[in-house]
Chain A
Amino acid sequence: MSGETSSSSSLANKDERKICANGSCVQTDDIEAKLDSGNIDEAEADLREGLSLNSEEARALLGRLEYQRGNVEAAFRVFEGIDVQAAIQRLQSISTEKISKKPRSNTESGLSGPQQGANLVLEAIYLKTKSLQKLDRINDAAEECKKVLDAVEKIFPHGIPDAFVDTRLQETISRVFELLPQLWDEAGQYDEAVSSYRRALLTQWNLDSNSCARIQNNFAAFLLYSGFEAGPPTTSTHVEGTYVPKNNFEEAILLLMICMRNFSLGKAKWDPTVVEHLTFALSICSQTPILAKQLEEVIPGVIHRVDLWKTLAFCCSEIGQRKTALDLLKKGLHKHEKPDDIISLLLAAKICSEDGLLAAEGIEYAQRALNNCKKRNKHLNGVCLRVLGLCYGKQASVSSSDYERSHLQSEALKSLDEAISLEPENSDLVFELAIQYAMHRNLNNALRLAKQYIDVTGGSMLRGWRLLALILSAQQRFSEAEVVTDAALDETVRWDQGPLLRLKAKLRIAQSRHMDAIETYRHLLALVQAQKKSYGPLHSTHQIEDERVNEYEIWQGLANLYSSLARWKDAEICLGKAREIVECSSETLHTEGTIYQRRGEIEEAMATYVNSLLVESNYVPSKISFGAIMSNRGLPMLPVARTMLSDALRLEPTNRMAWLHLGFVHKLDGRLSDAIDSFQAASMLEESDPIESFNSIL
């Protein structure tokens, strides 16, 4: 292939082609004609006479001529006439001579007479190898190439002397080292490929740093993708404290990092494939922080800054550094950079959709992405609508006004509905829409979608089971919810059962089966304590990582349960256990307050609720309890109660207890119609309150 192109281009420049040696030059027209008619010997004779060369040198030059003209077969025939052994012996003799190093010019190599000839022959054997490769005789090519290398190794047992640096001989040797492993790889002889890669890299060959970087990069790619397990490298001289990689992955990453280092030190020319191999390898083993560090050290200019920011943003968002990721994306989305980059816009919107305070900003990004889709990237239309819907939903959850909230919620539903009409097969969307309906208390739609989600995912996602159980619990169908939870437990291995057991305990409490609930909590406790013992850093499963139930939660739940059963002593013990884990928590203080209150120790209860609010000023249950006590303290205290309860409702608009107590306050204050509204809200919510917040699954 490449032969054809070079021969056609050579036709145009035919007049200019010549061969120069020993101070004189000959035009190649006649020689080429003789070669074309198959008279190799005559052509050789012409060259020998014209340039006063010996037979081997003349053949080498002829072969090169043929090779350059793309006649690889002819070139191979010419090269076959060279006595390789003799040439190698000659090389051996020059290695012992003292070599005077001359600066290299364009026209002459740095070698003196005999060395020059030897190099020419070495180059000829190299071209013979290349010819064999092009003739698809890969095994022969590899064998031939190996011969050259064996010879070089025999001649220079301690590596190539510095005097040879920058000579053509060195260049040829570098090429041989680069070619041989590629040939073995091509021939499918992977163990030979590995040993020749290591041969090149583990001995001092004075390879120029660019070829060395290329060999390192090629070897890394081989290790990453060939599927051949190379085994660890062995060196005869192991230096203490030197890192020896143990498997393909480690070796590949090491080599790529060395390349990156040499690039940033300016020792080798930047090669963009290195960073892509490294990106692949490090993202496959989820090490984006290491990747980010490598990218930060890249010298400016080689990677476009916007691309760099974007990649860094991906790295950061992957490890949950949302803020940094968003800042990086913002830089790239600046109006003077690439404001329309759809992937950046989508990721920015997605990050914002996870944080109530950023949701408004996210809506803006999602809308920009959506506008962008009208022109190009139509296939991403559904994704844009999806993140838009998620941002609206998040914004709704933090909105303080009823009107705004319901507006945002319907916007969220609208966007997600539109998205799902574009991508009906996207199960994530089904889930997100189900959640959105559930939050909107449209429980029938939510239920339908939750069932659909379990069907299409084949029940593989824990969150689907949990959502279905929560929706049923919101519909006050506790026993059905428990059946679903049990089905989910069957589909889950023991280690991952925590959240389901917690749910089950709560469902049992809701059905007033307190003893059963205590039993479930005991199971859960045993599980969590077993996990604490055996979970090492190496254990992680995809779905569970963030939602593993912690021991504190269990003690807290048990404390609440015992307190409701008026088993004060047990409740105190559980609270004590909880306090051992989290010393100062608003939740624990609230439970303590409830115990005081139930025992009629109102002053202590008040003090504890206040403490709880000092720990966390927005802790809603304490606000409600405090407000409720205040409302019983006669008219002067009603404004305080009202403020407390309104505040709670601002934070949690669907809190049933807050509405209920606010209703009492209104009633005591004589605002009967307000009281009716509040009671109505409370009773409506009672019928649609899930056993755990829907947010807990997100």
Chain B
Amino acid sequence: MSTQQVSWTDSFSQAQNAIQSLTTILPAVPKPVIASENPALSLLNDPELAEQISNHIRQPDSGAGDNQLCRWLYDTFHTSKIDLQLVVLRFLPMIAGVYLSRIPLRKPLAGFEAVLLAIYAHETASRDGQAVTINISDASHPSVYHENNHPHKTASPELHLVVVSPTLEPQGTIRSTKRARIIGVALELYHSKIADMPVQSKLDFCEFCIIWAGQDDDVNDDEKEDDQKEKEGKTKKEKKEGRILLPWEMLQPMLRILSHCLVGINKNNKKNKELHEAACHACRSLYARALHDINPKAILAIGSLLKLIKYQQTDVDHTELPVTNVIHL
């Protein structure tokens, strides 16, 4: 009991310290955050603070090695307090997005890289470098959820071992050929904490999916008039600037996050509705990109998400009683 108390106050004061050091970096840390009784939670969820930090990350020289905010993110992640690590992860879409779009510009990015490597190192350590694997059982063997009429021949079911995420090696720097993997692993961690992430963070993620895809959802474009298209042509070219290679090691965690934003959220909430729309848009962009890359696995995965969106619209509520004119006892 007493040790718990200590660790709680410890965590509280660390969050307080984080807020304190943030006041020297940001123009004005919002009052509710400073006065909050649960500082870590406020850091994670305060929309105004998030906007300030996001603006900061988007500034032209934000990724440099001596950048104060990067330093803060790095230190905050290194407190090893889960609730403070969540705060850093909350900005991962923004950091990864801005970072990747600046690679071809040859800007100094050591600050962003330090944060990304910290997240990667954390995941490597907590997985002990091991691969994430699952077993897939053939449904012809009995399981906790079903029996089988045929008496099974083998004592234990035949399982198919599948690697979801390969083994990890420690990385001291971001070598360019490992960049996608390091960001992919960071996104895997983000995905595992997705239930805790504020909606705005997921919205940021969807925004960058569209930029990375570099592909408008042209599928709907065919219906538009040609001259209208020409007018839009110019803005389109500008938007495509952030197009990046999307190797599977990055696309896979991206799609898992996106699938959550599409199917895993409760759409009755207003903010979630906005997220759902953004995720639909991102999904169509990535589908267009998968077609452009003629990437069968991505076409299958994203195609099924698009079909699920379609089915959602015509969903029948089976928990509803049939409406009849004659009501029987």
What is the interface of chain A, defined by CB distance below 8 A to chain B? 2, 6, 10, 13, 16-22, 25, 51, 53, 57, 61, 64-65, 67-68, 107-109, 116-117, 120, 123, 126-127, 130, 136, 175, 178-179, 182, 185-186, 188, 190, 201-202, 211, 214, 216, 221-222, 224-229, 233, 235, 239-247, 249-250, 253-255, 257-258, 260-261, 272-273, 276-277, 279-280, 283-288, 290-291, 311, 314-315, 317-318, 343, 346-347, 350, 376-380, 382-383, 387, 423, 425-428, 455-462, 490-493, 495-496, 537-543
Closest-by-CB residue of A relative to B306 is A276
Q: Does B27 contact A (CB under 8 A)?
A: no
Whether the pair B301, A20 counts as a contact (CB closer than 8 A) is no
Q: B317-329, CB under 8 A of A: which get 1 and which 0?
A: 1111101111111
Closest-by-CB residue of B relative to A242 is B142
Interface residues on B, range: 35 or more
Distance to closest chain B CB from A504 (angstroms): 16
Q: B197-220, CB under 8 A of A: which get 1 and which 0?
A: 000000000000000001110110
Closest-by-CB residue of A relative to B308 is A276
Complex CA gap A240/B141 in Å reads 12
Whether the pair A202, B145 counts as a contact (CB closer than 8 A) is yes
Q: Across the interface, which residues of B come within 8 angstroms of A235, CB to CB?
A: 144
From the candidates A239, A272, A425, A491, name the one contacting B214 in the complex (CB within 8 A): A425
Whether the pair B255, A284 counts as a contact (CB closer than 8 A) is yes
Q: Does B171 contact A (CB under 8 A)?
A: yes
Q: A241-B154, A244-B144, A425-B241 are in contact. Are A538 and B300 (CB under 8 A)?
A: no
Q: Across the interface, which residues of A come within 8 angstroms of B163, CB to CB?
A: 285-286, 537-538, 540
- Interface secondary structure of B, over-half rule: mixed
Distance to closest chain B CB from A425 (angstroms): 5
Q: Across the interface, which residues of A come within 8 angstroms of B131, CB to CB?
A: 538-539
Q: Does B25 contact A (CB under 8 A)?
A: no
Q: Across the interface, which residues of B come within 8 angstroms of A460, CB to CB?
A: 103, 176-177, 179-180, 245
Given contacts A538-B163, A541-B166, 15 further A-B contacts (CB under 8 A): A13-B325, A19-B327, A109-B328, A244-B143, A276-B311, A285-B162, A315-B296, A318-B297, A318-B300, A379-B215, A383-B291, A425-B214, A459-B176, A490-B175, A543-B247
Q: Across the interface, which residues of A come within 8 angstroms of B145, CB to CB?
A: 201-202, 216, 254-255, 258
Q: Across the interface, which residues of B come within 8 angstroms of A246, CB to CB?
A: 134-135
Q: Does B271 contact A (CB under 8 A)?
A: no
Distance to closest chain B CB from A442 (angstroms): 25
Q: Across the interface, which residues of A come within 8 angstroms of B318, CB to CB?
A: 175, 178, 211, 214
Distance to closest chain A CB from B215 (angstroms): 8
Distance to closest chain B CB from A238 (angstroms): 8
Distance to closest chain A CB from B3 (angstroms): 25
Closest-by-CB residue of B relative to A427 is B245
Q: Across the interface, which residues of A come within 8 angstroms of B167, CB to CB?
A: 538-539
Q: A202-B144, A241-B155 are in contact. Are A379 and B164 (CB under 8 A)?
A: no
Complex CA gap A379/B103 in Å reads 27
Q: A225-B264, A540-B166 are in contact. Are A243 and B141 (CB under 8 A)?
A: yes
Q: Does B60 contact A (CB under 8 A)?
A: no
Complex CA gap A358/B170 in Å reads 43
From the candidates A130, A254, A492, name the one contacting B319 in the complex (CB within 8 A): A130
